[in-house]
Structure 1
Amino acid sequence: MYQSLEHFSKNWIFKRNDPKVEPEDLQAIRLLSEQRAGQIWRDYISDEQVHPDHFTERDWLKKTTSQLPVTKLQWEKAWDSDRAELPDELLVHFSAWGDDTTVFFCCHNELVFELSWGVFKRTWKAFLFLDNGPILVGKKKKQAAQFYSNGWANLLFRES
């Protein structure tokens, strides 16, 4: 179900001093096996497309009913700053999530990370080195966000 983070080709993002990922948080970040990642991707993201670049209007992320009235959020300024916290708009969007909520950071159908919301809030800067369209979803939660390399994110609601 899990594989070692050492198998991840970009594991350096978790080993940098800036942003620093504490050892106890690193232990809580789980890289899913490709098979389990595929299952999470199909269940939470898309059963037709394997990568964010290929989403179509049939995928829930592209439907206007999934998006909030104000859907765009600038994350890069907070990422570049000395501030450790997620941007306020993200914290508000995910305010129903407890720190123990299981979240999935989904890069594509074979690359999915599992961790708690509390750990993600502390390590988000490391994850956003992977900013080519990944989707953050919570287990059994409707709130979601998709991050883009242009420094923007879409705040979303998953379909049931």
Structure 2
Amino acid sequence: MNYIDLSEYRNAWVFRHKDMPVSADELAQIKPLSESSAYQLWRQRISKEADHPTDWEQGDWAADEKTWKYKDMWQKAWDSSSPDLPELITEHIDWADNVTVFFCYESSKIIETTWVVFKNNWKNFLFFDDGPVLIARKKKQAVQFFQNGTFAIGEMP
């Protein structure tokens, strides 16, 4: 995988927000993929045709309602003073802290980090909430976040 420096990432401000600062140690572990690497990962793991979650079509695993087993709200947890992910996510996603995760906004915008860094800073990632999908290397579980404040947990084929 190829990366771009976080300082060159157009939306890096979400990780430097004054009300939700990310530690320097964790900032170093937030790695935006280069456009070509993001595109390749997206085509392999997310969709061969659609470039954005709002464009998924029949045949895309994420467009299949059967994919998504659990649904709940993320907005209330995001608005709270607690840094914790919504409980339903932590109940159903049992990845080790060092598992590599990918937060996929669209085919050209994907961020790689570890599960623990995502858990600690999930609110920063969700400044952009128009359907991004969280997946992990060598795992089938996925979480999708929606603008209406909900999320869905499921499994990729």
Give the letter aligned to residue 92 of structure 2.
H
Distance 2:145 2:68 in 1: 14
Distance 1:17 1:33 in 2: 26
Computed over aligned residues only, the root mean square deviation of the Cα atoms, in angstroms, reads: 0.9
Name the SS of the counterpart of 1:118 in structure 2: helix
Distance 1:125 1:77 in 2: 11
Match of 1:33 in 2: 34
Q: How many corresponding residue pairs?
A: 156
Distance 1:63 1:152 in 2: 17
Runs of 4+ in 1 over 6 A off after TM superposition: none
Residue 65 of structure 1: how far off its partner (Å): 2.9
Name the SS of the counterpart of 2:28 in structure 1: helix
Give the letter aligned to residue 8 of structure 1.
Y
Residue 75 in 1 paired to residue 74 in 2? yes
Superposed CA deviations along residues 23-80 of structure 1, whole A, max 9, x for unmatched, are 1110000000001001110111001111111001211012133121xx3210010000
Gaps of 5+ in 1: none
Gaps of 5+ in 2: none
Residue 10 in 1 paired to residue 11 in 2? yes
Match of 2:97 in 1: 99
Match of 1:120 in 2: 118
Name the SS of the counterpart of 1:77 in structure 2: helix
Residue 157 of structure 1: how far off its partner (Å): 0.6
Q: TM-score, normalised by structure 1?
A: 0.94
Name the SS of the counterpart of 1:103 in structure 2: strand
Give the letter aligned to residue 47 of structure 1.
K
Match of 1:110 in 2: 108
Match of 2:139 in 1: 141
Q: TM-score, normalised by structure 2?
A: 0.96
Give the letter aligned to residue 10 of structure 2.
S
Residue 150 in 1 paired to residue 148 in 2? yes
